[in-house]
Every structure is written in structure tokens, then in C-alpha cells.
Amino acid sequence: MKKYLAIIILTSLCFDIYSQHELSFSLGTVVSGYDLESYVNQDLEYNPYYSELESSVSPKVGLNINLGYAYYFKYNLRAFLVSSIQQQGYSDSDSHNYDNPGSSLYDYEWNSSGKVNMNCLRSALGVSYLTDFNMTFSAGFSKTFLMSMKASGEYSTYYPNNPSLSLDGLWATTDSLQISSSPLFLGVGYEIGNISFDVNINSIQLDPPFGININSVSFLVGIRKLLIK
């Protein structure tokens, strides 16, 4: 037992002597949105009486602020921990017809549009490999927490053969939903001295009533400070 304990202590000391610690700060944008077409196709497959007229999604471009710490095991291999604040969301619209199989009196046209804005706190733990050409490749695990959310939109249902049933309205909510973040994220970057350029890919899952998978791509410019022990 003492032998193994001595090996662990010596290994730790070696890492401590030759390790290099690094702090980083980066700023940039995050582009987020979701694949509306896949959800529309699911609805059409589930209900054959739907016919899609038009659907679209506009991604949100938000702010992304990152603060990180890295530990170098070797000159080209480092583990890192990053905390970031991200603004994510999207705008979407959807229109479809419903042909009622029982009576054409209940055929209708549905139109809706909405906008979702979210402020998220994200923590990531991963590993980066630095090539001889100053390129970096990163992968790891992340967890995203929803700090605040604002969503609003409008809708209308028009019954051409029975107009008295038609209705329209507005909706809005500031209730924060539970979100599930994809455990895996990927990144690629380029470093020149203390300056870094990074692109990261990640996704989160919004719980019902939204129930969609939001994908995001971050574009970051940062500065790194190496602390040598």
C-alpha cells in the first residue's frame, strides 16, 4: 500500500512541476436555431389530414462571453473548464391546412408565429489537442442552465366554411422551462500567440410545450494567459 501511495505522490509532484496553468477570456457571438422542417414532417406523418403551406425559422444571433481555465498535461494537450453566458433563441412561423375527414365545415387553416429569447449559463469540461500548425481540436461534455426566458407570438385559426368558429390571439410567457443539454460538444480553433479564434458546436433540448432541439454554433475571439509553475 505504501508503495502505491508513494507512486501516486511522485506522479502528482511530477505533474505539478511540469504543469502549466492557463486562464482565458473570450467574446463573440452564438447563432442558434432549430430544424423546423423535421418537426413539420413528423406532424404530417402523424396526421395525414394536415397539408403544409409554409414554415420558416430565423436563427437568433446573440452574445457569448466565456471565462476558462486550462491545465496542460503536455505542451500540446490540455484539459479545460469553461463557464459562459449565452443569448440563444429563434423566431419561427408555420401555416398549414387541416381537411376534416368527417365534415368540410370543420376544415381550417392554421397560422402561427413566435419568438423565443433565452439567457443561458453553460459549463463545459473537455480536452483540447494543439497541432504543430496552431490548430486546436476540442471535445468534451457540457451542461446548460436556463437563467431567464421571454417568449411571445400570435396565432389564428380560420374556418372557411364556418367562419363563426374562427379565432385569433396573442400569447406570451416569461416562465423558465427545464432544458436538457446535449452532453457532447465539439470545437475547432486557431491560436496565434496569446490570441485564439474558436468555433464550437452544441445543442440543448427545450422541454414541452416547446419540445424542440436547439442547435448552436459559437464564434469566439479570445486572449489566453499562460501561468508557468
Cβ–Cβ under 8 Å, residues 28 and 219: yes
What sign for the dihedral angle of Cα 173, 175, 178, 182? positive
> Residue 9 above 80 pLDDT?
no
Question: Which tens digit of pLDDT belongs to each residue from 147-204?
Answer: 888 989 999 999 999 999 999 999 888 766 667 666 789 999 999 999 999 999 998 8
Across the chain, where does the E strand assignment appear?
20-33, 50-74, 77-98, 108-130, 135-158, 167-173, 179-181, 184-192, 195-206, 213-228
Which has the closest alpha carbon to 100: 160, 50, 52? Answer: 50
Indicate the SS3 state at residue 103.
coil
Q: Partners of 124 in the beta sheet?
A: 82, 142
What are the pLDDT digits (tens) for 199-227?
999 988 877 666 678 889 999 999 999 88
Contact (Cβ atoms closer than 8 angstroms) between residue 189 and residue 138: yes
* Tens digit of each residue's pLDDT (9 = 90 or more) over 19-38: 589 999 999 999 998 887 76
The residue type of 221 is V
Q: Report the SS3 class of residue 134.
A: coil
In angstroms, the CA 48 to CA 30 distance is 37
Q: What is the pLDDT of residues 120-146, one digit of tens each?
A: 999 999 999 999 999 999 999 998 888
**DSSP tag of 207:** P
Rounded-to-integer distance, Cα 126 and Cα 66, Å = 14
Q: Please state whether beta strands 77-98 and 50-74 pair in parallel, antiparallel, or not at all (unpaired).
A: antiparallel
**What gap in Å lies between CA 118 and CA 140, rounded to an integer?**
23
